Amino acid sequence: MAVPPEAAGQAAESHESVAPKPHLKRDQVVIRFAGDSGDGMQLTGMQFTSESALAGNDIATLPDYPAEIRAPQGTLAGVSGFQLNFSSNEVFTPGDEPNVLVAMNPAALRTNLEDLQPNAVIIVDCEAFNESNIKRAGYTSNPLTDHSLDKFQVIEVDVTKLTSLAVHGLGLNNRAAFRCRNMFVLGMLSWLFQRPIDATIISLKNRFKKVPELLEANIRVLTAGYNYGETTEMFASSYEVPAAHIAPGLYRNITGNSATALGFVAAAVKAGRPLFLGSYPITPASDILHDLAGYKNFPVYTFQAEDEIAGVCSAIGAAFGGAIAITTTSGPGMNLKGEAIGLAMKVELPIVITDVQRAGPSTGMPTKPEQADLMQAMYGRHGESPVPIIAASTPADCFDCAFEAVRIAVKYMTPVILLTDGQLANGAEPWLLPDPDKLAPIKVEFATNPEGFLPYARDPETLSRPWAVPGTKGLEHRIGGLSGENLTGNVSHSPANNELMVRTRARKVEGIKREIPPIEVFGDASGGDLVVLGWGSTFGPIREAVKRVRAKGKKVSHVHLRYLNPMPGDLSETLKRFKQVMVAEMNMGQLLKLVRAEYLIDAFGFNKIQGRPFKVSEIENRINRVLEG
């Protein structure tokens, strides 16, 4: 077997010896599970991820959902995938090219084949390669027999038949039996990578608590798969990816959307206020709504609004009343929320708008990631409408960024835009659980003193106005979208006053700079031949690529931005220490334009707009070409 190529040659023992079969050590393996959307590939992938995490690997995962809910069985459009990168080293991405593909049918094979490493292992359910499935996948001949897969190592397993044999006698109908196939695959791979299946059995017991016959069936099939791996001639050896050196502590696996939801809950708890989410369902942001709807006892209010506008508006209403108020959406929803965000900016009420970016324009590719909403976040409102923007770089980082977004919103009395994307939202990584006691406090002080109260008097340092909530005697006041007089907020059409207010709000947002921590350059802070500048989910592939070229002695560094508005005060001087600045982003060059406009730096872009994250190799190759001139 060729899993994976970088470890080739480490095979110490001959596979001809009798059992036990040899274990071969590997540093890193990328597996992709692919099948029909009803084949349970997401579950299989997540469960294998848990097993790998328990085995101490560093991991990163990415599901790849089809756009259709349930496309016709066996078609290309219906293929659902889940990719897992697990390693004995630090992992930054879900992996470029899988070493192992599990394909439950011909369509799953066909849609994923071009992503595989040469010589990758392909495990197929051969019974699914029947004439009709082959035709439905658009093949003219059976790929298992026409030599088109000769450059791969194909392992054919009759998963369907073996599954049905394993559940024989349990009285399951064909359909129910068929649905257990994923557990056979999981069992087989668990043996192949020497993962104990105990944790999976516990998880199955929870899942099928109320259906004992399905629990029995799934455990039988899982065990059958494991034993099949061990006893058949199909696999010459098993593999071991040893534990990674990971910071000690308590971990859980977390997706970006779940981390975002938890970050908001944590912020509300630290602020001592209820959390209010007003949101309209939209892919890929809806999971934040789903998660928060389960946290009512904190208390968390979730309001599924009639539309995107009502989502953000209800949050503005809740903020007026003193709640930690947020809304969640994706690009199309951001378009609709623009006017209301402008209102929140002008009346200076704290809300957080999370944009889980997806591939546009228009409806675009809803399940695929992109970073093309940065300009919209910066400038997507009429008038001079500065709004702080922060962006999360990894799934777990979504927690910190959600928390930070609330902190800034409340401290500066301003809407804050949090940018994540579909890659972060659904991707997962191990998360070192934060200690709630050590999270920064979020200070909420409502105005209470009527003496000399002015709704737009400002804190001299932050320029923040008081948060005076209804119910407070003596502070009755009116706010609104019309141009407001300095200090009182009363309607005013004075030209000079309007300019004063526009400039004051801009200064307030710009002033957030003072608390942005100094830039951490990965590489050489003193400068070098090239710095790759990134933001958001490109963190993983950029960091891994820069690591690789630095390992070869190249003078290349990486700077990654969390704060996009305002940008860090030391960004300009940091970038100017490098001979060249390359901005890698999943858009046509939006951060690039900002950096060039703001700092007169002759940066250039590296862009990808395919609804797919950068591969590490793409960035690595690009860096090498740049360095070669």
Partner 1 sequence: MATVLNRKDFVSNQEVRWCPGCGDYAILAAVQKTMPEFGVAPENTVFISGIGCSSRFPYYMNTYGFHTIHGRAPAIATGLKISRPDLDVWVVTGDGDGLSIGGNHLIHVLRRNVDIKILLFNNRIYGLTKGQYSPTSEVGKITKSTPAGSIDFPFNPITVALGTHGTFVARSIDIEQKHLGEMLKRAHEHRGTSFIEILQNCSIFNEGAFNDVTDKALKADHQLVLEHGKPLIFGKNRDKGIRMNGMRPEAVQLSATVTEKDLVVHDETNLSLAFMLGHFEPPLPTPVGVFYAVSRPTYDGAVNQQLVDAKAKQGAGDLRALLGKGDTWTVN
Computed on alpha carbons and rounded to an integer, the radius of gyration of the chain in Å comes to 27
Instruction: State the residue for tokens 């207010």.
Output: 501
Piece of the chain touching partner 1 by CB under 8 A; list 186-194, 299-307, 500-508, 570-578: 299-307
In terms of CB distance, is 53 or 162 closer to partner 1? 53
Please tell me whether residue 298 binds partner 1 under the rule CB under 8 A.
Answer: yes
Question: What single DSSP character describes residue 476?
Answer: -
Cα separation values, 8 from 35, 67, 90, Å:
29, 38, 20
Please tell me whether residue 325 binds partner 1 under the rule CB under 8 A.
Answer: yes
Please tell me whether residue 289 binds partner 1 under the rule CB under 8 A.
Answer: no
Binds partner 1 by CB under 8 A, chosen from 212, 272, 470, 518: 470
In degrees, rounded to 5, the angle at the alpha carbon of residue 491 between the alpha carbons of residues 452 and 352 is: 80
Question: What one-character-per-residue DSSP string does 449-464 give?
Answer: --TT--TB---TTT-P
Contacts for 212 with CB less than 8 Å, ≥ 6 apart: none
Residues in contact with partner 1, shown as a per-residue x/- string from 60 to 79 under the rule CB under 8 A: --------------------
Number of residues that bind partner 1 (CB under 8 A): 70
Piece of the chain touching partner 1 by CB under 8 A; list 126-134, 160-168, 308-316, 522-530: 308-316
Closest by CA to 1, choosing from 308, 238, 296, is 238
- Backbone φ, ψ for residue 558 (5° rounding): -130, 130
- Residue 223 beta carbon to partner 1: minimum distance, rounded to whole angstroms: 20
Please tell me whether residue 314 binds partner 1 under the rule CB under 8 A.
Answer: yes
- Residue 397 beta carbon to partner 1: minimum distance, rounded to whole angstroms: 15
Instruction: Identify whether the C-beta of residue 123 lies closer than 8 Å to the C-beta of residue 149.
Output: no
Please tell me whether residue 436 binds partner 1 under the rule CB under 8 A.
Answer: yes
Please tell me whether residue 306 binds partner 1 under the rule CB under 8 A.
Answer: yes
- Residue 560 beta carbon to partner 1: minimum distance, rounded to whole angstroms: 24
Between CA 177 and CA 160 the distance in angstroms is 9
Instruction: Pick out residues in 340-369 that bind partner 1 (CB under 8 A).
Output: 340, 343, 347
- Residue 208 beta carbon to partner 1: minimum distance, rounded to whole angstroms: 17
In terms of CB distance, is 309 or 352 closer to partner 1? 309
627 Cα distance to chain centroid: 31
Please tell me whether residue 569 binds partner 1 under the rule CB under 8 A.
Answer: no
- Residue 33 beta carbon to partner 1: minimum distance, rounded to whole angstroms: 18
Q: How are beta strands 578-585 and 528-535 bridged, if at all?
A: parallel
- Residue 410 beta carbon to partner 1: minimum distance, rounded to whole angstroms: 15
Quickly list H helices, 511-567: 539-551
Residues in contact with partner 1, shown as a per-residue x/- string from 200 to 239 under the rule CB under 8 A: ---x------------------------------------
Residues in contact with partner 1, shown as a per-residue x/- string from 395 to 434 under the rule CB under 8 A: --------------------------------------xx
Between CA 377 and CA 491 the distance in angstroms is 27
In terms of CB distance, is 323 or 416 closer to partner 1? 323
Binds partner 1 by CB under 8 A, chosen from 90, 474, 487, 515: 474
- Residue 329 beta carbon to partner 1: minimum distance, rounded to whole angstroms: 14
| Strands of 121-125's sheet in order across | 153-157, 121-125, 100-103, 28-36, 79-87, 58-64, 428-432
Binds partner 1 by CB under 8 A, chosen from 170, 176, 199, 336: 199
In degrees, rounded to 5, the angle at the alpha carbon of residue 135 between the alpha carbons of residues 129 and 139 is: 85
Between CA 283 and CA 320 the distance in angstroms is 28
Closest by CA to 512, choosing from 440, 600, 404, 438, is 404
What's the token pair of residue 430? Answer: 């191990």
Please tell me whether residue 310 binds partner 1 under the rule CB under 8 A.
Answer: yes
Between CA 588 and CA 592 the distance in angstroms is 9
59 CB neighbour count, 10 Å cutoff: 22
Piece of the chain touching partner 1 by CB under 8 A; list 82-90, 216-224, 420-428, 469-477: 469-477
Instruction: Identify whether the C-beta of residue 590 lies closer than 8 Å to the C-beta of residue 371.
Output: yes
Between CA 118 and CA 430 the distance in angstroms is 29
- Residue 88 beta carbon to partner 1: minimum distance, rounded to whole angstroms: 13
Question: What single DSSP character describes residue 350?
Answer: -
In terms of CB distance, is 155 or 315 closer to partner 1? 315
Residues in contact with partner 1, shown as a per-residue x/- string from 477 to 496 under the rule CB under 8 A: xxxxxx-------xx-----
Residues in contact with partner 1, shown as a per-residue x/- string from 30 to 59 under the rule CB under 8 A: --------------------x--xx-x---
Closest by CA to 491, choosing from 501, 479, 477, 476, is 479
Between CA 4 and CA 30 the distance in angstroms is 8
Please tell me whether residue 295 binds partner 1 under the rule CB under 8 A.
Answer: yes
Please tell me whether residue 196 binds partner 1 under the rule CB under 8 A.
Answer: no
Piece of the chain touching partner 1 by CB under 8 A; list 99-107, 295-303, 364-372, 527-535: 295-303
What's the token pair of residue 511? Answer: 């002033």
List interacting residues with partner 1 (CB under 8 A): 50, 53-54, 56, 199, 203, 246-253, 262, 265-266, 269, 274, 276, 278, 295-301, 303, 305-307, 309-310, 313-323, 325, 339-340, 343, 347, 433-436, 469-482, 490-491
